[in-house]
Amino acid sequence: MAFELPDLPYAHDALADLGMSKETLEYHHDIHHKAYVDNGNKAIAGTEWEGKSVEEIIKGTYDPKAVAQNGIFNNASQFWNHNQFWEMMGPGESKMPGELEKALTEAFGSVDKFKEEFSAAGAGQFGSGWCWLVKDGDALKVTKTENGVNPLCFGQTALLGCDVWEHSYYIDFRNKRPAYLSNFLDKLVNWENVASRM
């Protein structure tokens, strides 16, 4: 299957009052995400992966022993990661559904403890990468991954992911990654979307 850049599920300026500017989304979605689409399509052309789903490509090209992943994996994975990321955020106030609040409290002790652990994972990811809330079997866990690696590589379900590549936050937060992560959790997350992935 050819990769196609999805439209954002909201206007480019819809998150501006919540800490993610129109300029950030123009760069991040229109340029960076589009580059993964274009480069991914070039990379899979004429290969065994052409015509496969993005999930099949990610699982089939991930090499757990590699110091650096291959170009097909990197572009397919980052294409998928960003598709999820836009959906995991939204404008307006998002109330956390009761079943998600209960699950987070059971897994982490409280919602605040979950937020602390998630923020610490993102702040502690050296260089580029992602932090995640995942479902691993029946357990909820916080993880972090380098570059474009994502939970699909480990047979996990991504419930929430935050992009900690600098292009995701530098325009709005400069080098203050912890502040970006706090703002993401407190103002940007679409908790209904997170709950729907459980």
Task: Summarize pLDDT for 66-96 with one digit per residue, the tens.
Answer: 999 999 999 999 999 999 999 999 998 899 9
Q: What is the structure's pLDDT at 87?
A: 98
Give me the half-sphere count of Cα atoms (radius 13 Å) on the Cβ side of residue 4. Answer: 5
The answer to whether residue 135 scores a pLDDT higher than 80 is yes
Q: Which amino acids are annotated as binding site, given as ranges?
A: 28, 82, 163, 167
CB 164 within 8 A of CB 185: no
Q: What are phi and psi of 134, to 5 degrees?
A: -125, 160
Amino acid, single-letter form, for residue 97? P
Q: What is the structure's pLDDT at 84?
A: 98
Reported as a single tens digit per residue, the pLDDT across 10-36 is 999 999 999 999 999 999 999 999 999
Q: What is the structure's pLDDT at 95?
A: 94
Q: What is the structure's pLDDT at 153?
A: 98
DSSP-based three-state secondary structure for 157: strand
Show the tokens assigned to 101: 């609040």
Q: What is the structure's pLDDT at 1?
A: 77
- Give the Cα separation of 162 and 115 in Å (integer): 12
Summarize the confidence of residues 158-174 as an average pLDDT.
98
The answer to whether residue 117 scores a pLDDT higher than 80 is yes
Q: What is the structure's pLDDT at 148?
A: 97
Q: Which amino acids are annotated as binding site for Mn(2+), given as ranges?
A: 28, 82, 163, 167
Q: What is the structure's pLDDT at 106?
A: 98
Q: To the nearest whole percent, how much of the chain has pLDDT over 70? A: 100
- Give the Cα separation of 23 and 51 in Å (integer): 34
Show the tokens assigned to 48: 């065994």
CA-CA distances (angstroms) from residue 24 to 14, 39, 66?
Answer: 12, 21, 31
- Give the Cα separation of 39 and 3 in Å (integer): 10
Q: What is the structure's pLDDT at 90?
A: 98
- Tracing tokens 């923020």 back to the chain, one arrives at 119
Please report which confidence band the pLDDT of residue 52 belongs to, taking 50, 70 and 90 as the band edges: very high
What is the chain's mean pLDDT, rounded?
97
Q: What is the structure's pLDDT at 93?
A: 87
